[in-house]
Amino acid sequence: MKRIDCLRVIYPALEDCAVVTIMGAVAAELYSLGHRANFFYLEHAMGLASSIGLGIALSQPNRKVVVIDGDGSVLMNLGSLTTMARSRPKNLVHLIFDNETLLSVGGGAPGGYKWFTTATSTGTDLAAMAKAAGFPRAQLLRELEDFEEAALDALNGDELSCIVAKVEAEMPKSFLMDVHMLENRFEFPRALQQPAKRKKGGLT
């Protein structure tokens, strides 16, 4: 399963969400599908994307918050799984792309060669850890169809969820992101704090 294909199938569902991604491949690939002001790419501080998502989810309980994380980042802040689980905001989806390597910080190479793998490559199961931390819902998916069903179900659902997708350790086609991190930093809260968009049939 490829990360970019997973992102493609959930992309339309992210329109009204607050989306926080980690740095590197995930950010570049989400950006390549079309940047939106409600996407925040955390370009440093590995591990804290989930904490930022938790802060948003607790502060705006009526907005769906999606954290798009990676195995390397999650392993740097494992306690966050327990903090999210005990806070248990219903509007938070923790999506983890598990490529079993620290791809974007030099652990991967073209051709899928992995020279710095993470512990998920030797059996650590992040979905099981999330479940054991107290997430009401945590699933690990290996096939795109299963991922799509689980991720969309979580995005449309009403409980704290952790969706772990086993993906290939593949570099993005490009790391180009033509939005400066500070521009992104200021447009993101503006998008989150503007009044809800009016659509046909009323407020969304």
Q: Which residues contact 202 (CB under 8 A, 6 or more apart)?
A: none
Residues recorded for the chain: 204
Please tell me whether residue 75 binds another protein under the rule CB under 8 A: no
Applying the rule CB under 8 A, the residues between 84 and 123 that interact with another protein are 86-87
Q: In the complex, what is the shortest distance from the CB of residue 167 to another protein, in angstroms, rounded to a whole number?
A: 24
Q: In the complex, what is the shortest distance from the CB of residue 4 to another protein, in angstroms, rounded to a whole number?
A: 26
Which residue type sits at 105? Answer: V
Binds another protein by CB under 8 A, chosen from 9, 13, 37, 58: 58
Please tell me whether residue 56 binds another protein under the rule CB under 8 A: yes
| CA atoms of 13 and 101, how far apart (whole Å) | 27
Binds another protein by CB under 8 A, chosen from 79, 112, 128, 142: 79
Query: Do residues 95 and 101 touch, judged by C-beta distance below 8 A?
Result: no
- Among the listed ranges 44-52, 99-107, 123-131, 137-145, the one in contact with another protein (CB under 8 A) is 44-52
Query: Do residues 18 and 64 touch, judged by C-beta distance below 8 A?
Result: yes
- Among the listed ranges 109-117, 142-150, 153-161, 182-190, the one in contact with another protein (CB under 8 A) is 182-190
Applying the rule CB under 8 A, the residues between 3 and 42 that interact with another protein are 18, 20, 40, 42
Backbone phi, psi, residue 185, to 5°? -60, -35
Helix 49-59 × helix 79-87 angle, to 10°: 10
How many degrees, rounded to 5, is the angle at CA 87 between CA 84 and CA 93? 45
Read off the tokens for 83: 């903090």
- Among the listed ranges 98-106, 122-130, 135-143, 183-191, the one in contact with another protein (CB under 8 A) is 183-191
- Among the listed ranges 25-33, 75-83, 115-123, 149-157, the one in contact with another protein (CB under 8 A) is 75-83
Binds another protein by CB under 8 A, chosen from 83, 156, 174, 204: 83
Q: Where are the beta strands (DSSP E) in 99-182?
A: 108-109, 113-114, 137-141, 161-166
Q: Using CB under 8 A as the criterion, which residues of the chain lie in contact with another protein when the complex forms?
A: 18, 20, 40, 42-45, 47-60, 63, 77, 79-80, 82-83, 86-87, 181-182, 185, 188-189, 192-193
